[in-house]
Structure 1
């Protein structure tokens, strides 16, 4: 034991310098850690800005509630969209008009045939025949692109034109 104390006594200046270097290194590490802690605290304050003293768990729960609310609204909108899409298939989607001269003694293309069909090619053809002394308008129902009534050449033309529409 005496030998160790004597050896330490001879090496005391070197031991003190070594301990000072280790303390200096620790001091530098502490400064670096405080700087990192300050940056982390700034990030935390920026993260918690506007939180009104709520903790992170409350904030996350509130945001998840908002996400769930948004998801439920999106589901409602999707349901409404699907319902509207079904109803729109019954609305008039295809329209075609042909004007023509029904009689030779009439000066212009005053007669017409108009086809109004939905997505399933159900609807009506309305025809107006204009003559010098009288005019007639009538309608023929269309079911799946077919009429149970005889169609004139112009009515067939307007029906085929409207069915070919996409």
Structure 2
């Protein structure tokens, strides 16, 4: 298991091309989610934004990672993804550049040996199974929970509340 500090060494390109350094998350609770605009779970953007609005002033951050690996449900260019997220769901949490979450081209946050998938397996599997899987990371950079696509953002409230306390 990672000591958490390795999480803070990671970075990701944001959808606007700027760099997001995970060191900005030190002392914060984070939710890492692979998202898609044309998925049956896309409506979860509303719930994610509600969580972000409720807890952001207390040190909570959501990182959305658009992914086109599941049924080509995120085919759009960066501008289209941003427009969709803001117009349809008023998303204000950070959205990263489109990325893979499985395979050899997976983003380091998903590939990282001691991070997301390996720390929190589901049904003995590390692989992400679909869009809107969620990973909850505590204030010290430890992955504390993994939630399937079926888990609604609202169902995570009490776990987030405990980590922020």
Tell me the TM-score normalised to structure 1 length. 0.20
* Bigger share in helix: 1
Higher relative contact order (CA 8 A, sep 6+): 2
Q: Which has the larger radius of gyration?
A: 1
